[in-house]
Amino acid sequence: MNRQTASPSADNLLLSQFQPPVLAVILGLAICGGVIGIVGGTPQHISATLPVALLVLAMAGLAGLLMGWRQTAGAWAVLVGLSLTTLLLRYWLGLEGSLVLLTIPATLGLLLLGHRSGLLITALCTLLLGWLWTAGLLPFQEGSLTLVVIWLVALVYWGTFRAVAERVGWSWSHYRAAQEALDEVRANRGQLHQTLDDLAHANGQLGLMNRRLAAAQMAAEEAHKTKAAFVANVSHEFRTPLNMIIGLSDLLIEAPHVYGSQLPAELLEDLEIVRRNTQHLLAMVNDVLDLSQIEANRLALHRERVGLAAVVERAAAVVRPLLAKKGVELRLHLPRHLPDVYCDSNRVRQVLVNLLSNGARHTETGYVAIEVDADEHAATLCVRDTGPGIPPEDAAHIFEPFYRGTFGARQNETSSGLGLSISKQFIEMHNGRMWLESRLGEGSAFYFTLPITATLPLATEGAERWLVERWPWHERLQPTNLPAQRLRPQVVICDPNPDLHEAFGRFNDQTDYVRVDSLAEAAGLVADFPPQLLIVNDASPRLLLKMLAEARQRWPDLPAIGCSLPPRLGHALAAGASGHLLKPIARAELAEVVAQIDPGTVLVVDDDRDTRRLFSRMLLAIDEKLRVISAADGQEGLALMRAEKPDLVLLDVKLPEMDGWQVLAAKALDDDLRPIPVFLLSAQDPSDEPLSSQILIAAAGERTPFYKLLRCAEVIPLILGQPNA
């Protein structure tokens, strides 16, 4: 609403604040009538004044009646009555000078009806006085005096009224604005209270949702662990029969003389089909394991500087026979000078083999090509084929796990649909990316990139780290001509086991990692070339603390980190085993073990009769002179060890009643059995388990300032607070 139209005028506001009540004026008029009636006190005067008094009282009564109907009519009646009373006093009673009393109705008109009506009454009074003077009924002196008094009062009232009216109008407008602002503030205050209530309710809902999300996260982590355990158990259950099928198929195909006769060609072809499908099943099991390891963030890349051309050649060699059998050409487009790439060569080769196999499977004529291009930042590889192409509806989902697409379903493919998904995730783990370009009838092209340089950030230290007090200063008289080389930071790893040193070297080639077996050996390195960091690793927490304390005494200002990471095969080696074989075990792997030990008698301990038979045949196929004995459980195996003193023991980890670890523990207690080499057999690869430590200790200078502590308190929870996969 408009403030100007909503607020009353300044005149009306002023009248409402300062005008006298009409009823009081009427009462005053009646009193005047009574006073007029008794003026003089004598009968002659009363008889003269009584008509005037009665007229005044009548006018007062009429004004009272009109006021009950409308206040303005009552006010006009009072003003007319006062004017008539003044005329009667002058011309009926003959009171000279009484016309000056016309100032009263003029003034009351201004007060009761406003300045416009008051000025109208003043003008009427002026006309009345002019008419009386013209008619000779009013002397000039008396008329002019009355006229001057009336207009003087009007002008004084007008000047005063306008000034007051302006101030009142200004005050009223600001009052209305303040009132509206107050109303708006009150309304906003109510809305604010409602908003606060809504926020409090929403905060409660968010708190409840956070608690539910925390519970869901715990359930999801538990489900992750359950899934990992399930995958590990299923892989063991799959690999055991696969070991049997692949092993027997290899024996029947490659060493049929073990069975004493030559097998028919048709049977060999069927066995080849069995072996091929079993290897496909094994590949599916390995794909599922890789996918679970990637999802759990437990798959480590073994990165190193490798020649990209060599990786491409190795991948092409795997697929070349398949393409040659189909009459499809394999083309390699490799630049002459390819830079080394910091990557896991096995995983990159796996990606290339997968892409080449897919291209070979779908290409009947034409070619499959590998194109490589590189700049200073990344290498781009493309596997292109002249196959039928991939429909757009399949291309949109081609990298999703277990997705085979409508084209693959029509071709009755036996693939698991995991190869492309795993390949893409391998490339992304290298900080690269993979994409597809394809048109129906024109073939497909799978691209992926690999960074040329490592992208890990480098730790920096102050220049004082490179200063040693005992170094003497010798001024060089001639400038050196050696090429400028970037000084790389150095980290000393005190660990007798090489696993930790190899892991650091694979993941960061921008730092020099030097491994020593003891702190005494590290002393020479620290003295000659001060490192930025010392890492101490020991499987025993007690010895770890002792080594860190010794390191702090030797080098008080050298930052040190202590951890307790056992070697990957630490459990088996610590238990007394000589090695570990992962099922399914190829005959070549078993032949390497036999060549390493050169045994005369081999003991196979496995609860599965078929597995014992398989290993017996595989060992005899490797060396017919071997003597192979077997045991069905741990107790029987220990008894045969004591009785036969075998030169080699193949021991399954999962045994009834007494498992492989318990057999190793019992063997370690027997001085006669302790020297016998034992290789563990299991379906779980210990290299799949990432290196992990239950202890992490940081040792800094003798006086660590608070700001460094504060920085550690900010960074360490972000790193260690993340849940382990």
In whole angstroms, give the CA distance from residue 477 to residue 310.
Answer: 47
Q: What pLDDT was estimated at residue 21?
A: 59
Residues near 378 by Cβ (< 8 Å), separated by ≥ 6?
Answer: 432, 449, 450, 451, 452
pLDDT at 652 over 70: yes
pLDDT at 368 over 90: yes
Residues near 723 by Cβ (< 8 Å), separated by ≥ 6?
Answer: 217, 221
Identical fold for domains 489-565+696-720 and 570-688, yes or no, is yes
Question: What is the torsional sign of CA 351, 355, 358, 360?
Answer: negative
Ranges 215-224, 250-259, 334-343, most confident: 334-343
As assigned by CATH, the class of the 570-688 domain is alpha beta
Average pLDDT of the residues in 106-115: 69
Q: What pLDDT was estimated at residue 434?
A: 93
- Which residue type occupies 13? L
What's the length of the chain?
725
Looking up tokens 């399930």 gives 230
In whole angstroms, give the CA distance from residue 394 to residue 618.
Answer: 45
Average pLDDT of the residues in 156-174: 73
pLDDT at 180 over 80: yes
Q: What percent of the chain has pLDDT over 90?
A: 7
Q: Report whether 561 contacts 459 (CB < 8 A).
A: no
Three-state secondary structure of 593-630: HHHHHCCCEEEEECCCHHHHHHHHHHHHHHCCCCEEEE
Span of 231-245, 303-317, 610-624 with lowest mean pLDDT: 231-245
Q: What percent of the chain has pLDDT over 70?
A: 69
Question: What is the torsional sign of CA 521, 577, 592, 502?
Answer: negative
Span of 53-67, 433-447, 519-533, 671-685 with lowest mean pLDDT: 53-67
Among 399, 370, 364, residue whose Cα is nearest residue 309: 370
> Backbone phi, then psi, for 653, in 5-degree steps?
-75, -45
Let me know the angle formed at the C-alpha of 200 by 197 and 205, rounded to the nearest 5 degrees.
125
Where is 535: in which H helix or E strand?
A: strand 533-537
In whole angstroms, give the CA distance from residue 355 to residue 368.
Answer: 10
Average pLDDT of the residues in 568-581: 69
* Chain CA centroid to CA 644, Å: 64
Tokens of 586: 């190829």
The strand order across the sheet containing 560-563 reads: 512-516, 490-494, 533-537, 560-563, 696-699
Q: Report whether 255 contacts 233 (CB < 8 A).
A: no
Average pLDDT of the residues in 567-573: 61
**What pTM did the predictor assign?**
0.46
pLDDT at 603 over 90: yes
pLDDT at 398 over 60: yes
Among 254, 345, 356, residue whose Cα is nearest residue 303: 345
pLDDT band at 462 (very low <50, low <70, confident <90, very high): very low
Q: What pLDDT was estimated at residue 446?
A: 94
pLDDT band at 445 (very low <50, low <70, confident <90, very high): very high
Q: Report whether 542 contacts 477 (CB < 8 A).
A: no
Looking up tokens 């003193």 gives 645
Question: What is the torsional sign of CA 527, 531, 533, 536?
Answer: negative
pLDDT at 262 over 80: no
In whole angstroms, give the CA distance from residue 62 to residue 77.
Answer: 7
pLDDT band at 650 (very low <50, low <70, confident <90, very high): very high
- Could you tell me where the DSSP H helices lie in 450-540? 499-507, 519-528
Q: 3-state class of 362 per DSSP? A: helix
Q: Quick one: DSSP state of residue 263?
A: P
Tokens of 341: 């790439």
Q: Within 10 Å of residue 72's Cβ, how many Cβ atoms?
A: 14
Q: What pLDDT was estimated at residue 17?
A: 46
Span of 161-165, 260-264, 497-501 with lowest mean pLDDT: 161-165
pLDDT band at 440 (very low <50, low <70, confident <90, very high): confident
Encode 495-520: b = buried (16+ Cβ within 10 Å), e = exposed.
bebebbbebbbebbbebebebbeebe
In whole angstroms, give the CA distance from residue 683 to residue 674.
Answer: 25
Query: Using CB atoms within 10 A of its CB, is residue 251 exposed (0-12), middle (13-18) or buried (19+)?
Result: buried
Residues near 412 by Cβ (< 8 Å), separated by ≥ 6?
Answer: none
Q: What pLDDT was estimated at residue 235?
A: 63
Three-state secondary structure of 370-420: EEEEECCCEEEEEEEECCCCCCHHHHCCCCCCCCCHHHHHHCCCCCCCCHH
pLDDT band at 587 (very low <50, low <70, confident <90, very high): confident
Superfamily of segment(s) 304-451: Histidine kinase-like ATPase, C-terminal domain (3.30.565.10)
* pLDDT, mean over the chain: 76
Q: What pLDDT was estimated at residue 656?
A: 83
pLDDT at 5 over 50: no
Rg (the chain; Cα; Å): 55
Encode 441-474: b = buried (16+ Cβ within 10 Å), e = exposed.
eebbbbbbbbebebeeeeeeeeeeeeeeeeeeee
- Could you tell me where the DSSP H helices lie in 70-138? 71-91, 103-113, 115-134
* Segments making up each domain of the chain, as ranges: 3-172, 304-451, 489-565+696-720, 570-688
Q: Report whether 640 contacts 632 (CB < 8 A).
A: no
In whole angstroms, give the CA distance from residue 644 to residue 86.
Answer: 156
CATH T-level assignment (fold) for domain 489-565+696-720? Rossmann fold (3.40.50)
pLDDT at 11 over 60: no
